[in-house]
């Protein structure tokens, strides 16, 4: 009797576990089936051209890729120092009493719906950016990047902090025993030992920013401009996610526009695939990193 119920539980868990593989496969097949015909409907050269204006049949997706990358890159430039700094403070420096307040607050930040952040972005951040930096408009890649940084910081903080936590106490004790200061211990021992975990956190942060839609759509201005240099960071951009979200509702099923939107979906999927593979290949070798520190 016992065994039968155990077998039943094992099987249920097995099905639940493998179902995610099935879902990923189904999503992938669906994306490919709906997206690849885009290569048939639209010339390869015009698909990778620089003008996006679908109602006139201009399907250049380069501005959208460039927009997503600009916003994500800039968001990481902002989020990494803050995220890793916060994690260092929580994990290594702050006393228990401070942590009890700080950690829940970071989790609350993670729980704020992105559309709410978008509202704050439109009403507060964007006018502040325009006046503070004397820009033509506050609806820019920069504003989007700041919001994305806020959205990805909690992910980066909690994963980095986990990585610090996984560094054995004996490492720190050994370092202190040699007379190292607290900062030396953090910088020379804990961070190198947790390196792969931190990189993993960064990768997931990038993934989080790349996939975010609502907040970006509300504050980046959605102009399909292409990267032209530094000024693109303070100019309006249109991201891949915002394009899919705002245009999917109108397209006729099976039209060229419809296929191209799915094709953009494939590109997003590939981006996140690369990020996930990088991140998991990094976390596959934590042992060696720690060994190096010890030796």
Separation of alpha carbons 247 and 245, rounded Å: 6
Residue placing its CB nearer to other proteins in the complex, 12 or 246: 246
Instruction: For residue 273, give the DSSP letter.
Output: H
Least distance to other proteins, CB of residue 65, Å: 15
Q: Would you say 212 and 241 are in contact if contact means Cβ atoms under 8 Å apart? A: yes
Residue placing its CB nearer to other proteins in the complex, 172 or 238: 238
Least distance to other proteins, CB of residue 273, Å: 22
Instruction: For residue 227, give the DSSP letter.
Output: P
Secondary structure (3-state) at 285: coil
Least distance to other proteins, CB of residue 174, Å: 56
> Applying CB under 8 A, which residues contact other proteins?
33, 37, 40, 51-56, 58, 63, 122-123, 127, 130, 136-139, 217-218, 221-226, 235-236, 238, 246-247, 249-254
Residue placing its CB nearer to other proteins in the complex, 55 or 177: 55
Least distance to other proteins, CB of residue 81, Å: 30
Residue placing its CB nearer to other proteins in the complex, 246 or 280: 246
Element of type H or E holding 59 = strand 58-59
Least distance to other proteins, CB of residue 218, Å: 7
Residue placing its CB nearer to other proteins in the complex, 43 or 250: 250
Rg, the chain, Cα only: 23
Separation of alpha carbons 38 and 44, rounded Å: 9
Separation of alpha carbons 52 and 66, rounded Å: 12
């Amino acid at each position: 009797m016992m065994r039968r119920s155990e077998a039943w539980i094992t099987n249920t868990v097995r099905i639940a576990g493998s179902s995610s593989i099935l879902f990923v496969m189904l999503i992938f097949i669906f994306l490919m089936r709906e997206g690849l015909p885009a290569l048939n409907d639209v010339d390869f050269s015009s698909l990778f051209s620089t003008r996006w204006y679908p109602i006139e049949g201009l399907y250049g997706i380069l501005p959208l890729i460039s927009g997503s990358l600009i916003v994500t890159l800039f968001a990481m430039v902002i989020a990494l120092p803050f995220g890793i700094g916060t994690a260092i403070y929580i994990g290594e420096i702050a006393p228990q009493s401070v942590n009890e307040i700080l950690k829940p607050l970071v989790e609350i930040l993670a729980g704020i719906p992105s559309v709410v952040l978008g509202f704050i972005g439109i009403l507060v951040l964007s006018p502040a950016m325009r006046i503070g930096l004397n820009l033509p408009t506050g609806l820019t890649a920069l504003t989007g990047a700041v919001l994305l940084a806020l959205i990805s910081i909690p992910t980066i903080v909690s994963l980095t902090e986990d990585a610090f936590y996984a560094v054995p106490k004996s490492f720190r004790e050994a370092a202190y025993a040699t007379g190292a200061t607290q900062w030396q211990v953090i910088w020379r021992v804990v961070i190198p030992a947790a390196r792969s975990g931190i990189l993993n956190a960064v990768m997931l942060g990038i993934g989080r920013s790349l996939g975010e839609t609502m907040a970006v759509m509300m504050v980046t201005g959605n102009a399909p401009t292409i990267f032209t240099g530094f000024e693109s960071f303070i100019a309006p951009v249109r991201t891949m996610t915002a394009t899919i979200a705002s245009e999917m509702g109108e397209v006729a099923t099976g039209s060229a526009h419809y296929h191209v939107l799915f094709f953009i979906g494939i590109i997003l999927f590939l981006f996140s695939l690369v990020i996930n593979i990088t991140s998991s290949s990094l976390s596959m070798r934590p042992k060696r990193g720690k060994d190096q520190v010890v030796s």
